Amino acid sequence: MSTIADIKLIIADDHEIFRDGFKLMLSKFPEIILVGEAGNGKELLEQIEVLNPDVILTDIKMPVMDGIEATKKITERYPDKGIIGLSMYDDDELIIEMLEAGAKGYLIKNAGKDQIIEAIKTVYNDEPYYCKTTSQKLTQMIAKSRFNPYKKTAKAEFSEREKEIIDCICHEMTNKEIGDKLFISVRTVEGHRLKILERMNVKNTVGLVVYAIKNGIVKP
């Protein structure tokens, strides 16, 4: 793969105006090089063969060949490629299909630039990325799906107190509610939360919940 200062990216989306806006945004991040763009999955496969990108950002709904079918083919031919699915808010089922097809992460199309860059770098490092605005419903769907990026990684160990906090987080409790329940300060809860995220190697609460369910720390 390229160095972290030189991530090669291809974007696939059938709306040229979206690709143009994306290119403009990326121009402010020299460590990510947009090496190609495609309007559908067929064009994307052709681009990958020639340009050998590190990360692929692809819309799920496209003409000729959609993002799900393209992802299946990319994963079969190039299993080392990091694929991120692009979706609208109401595409929960399609996001699941995309992840099960081989994508390592997904983003909602109106995600902010910082989140997009974080997603690209996370997937480049072969780690899963979950959009921060993911609903509780979709989080549970991901946790129960065949998508499991943790099969080949060592399972982290947690203390009983940490497991209690993980369970509370999975039940959508706030830091204050967790503190009140466990008779600890909000600052202590925040400290535990940060350590748990670090140990799980996830970026946000969505990743924490998926990790906890996939690894049997809590029941779905």
Q: Do 7-131 and 134-220 agree at the fold level? A: yes
Phi, psi angle pair for 177, to nearest 5°: -65, -40
Domain 134-220 has CATH 3.40.50.2020: no
Rounded Cα–Cα distance for residues 99 and 85 (Å): 8
pLDDT at site 3: 45
Rounded Cα–Cα distance for residues 107 and 102 (Å): 15
Phi, psi angle pair for 111, to nearest 5°: -60, 145
Question: Where do the domains of the chain lie?
Answer: 7-131, 134-220
Overall CATH class of domain 7-131: alpha beta
The per-residue pLDDT for range 155-203, each reduced to its tens digit, is 899 999 999 999 999 999 999 999 999 999 999 999 999 999 999 999 8
Mean pLDDT of 22-37: 94
Rounded Cα–Cα distance for residues 32 and 30 (Å): 5
User: pTM for the whole thing?
Assistant: 0.86
The per-residue pLDDT for range 39-70, each reduced to its tens digit, is 999 999 999 999 999 999 999 999 999 999 99
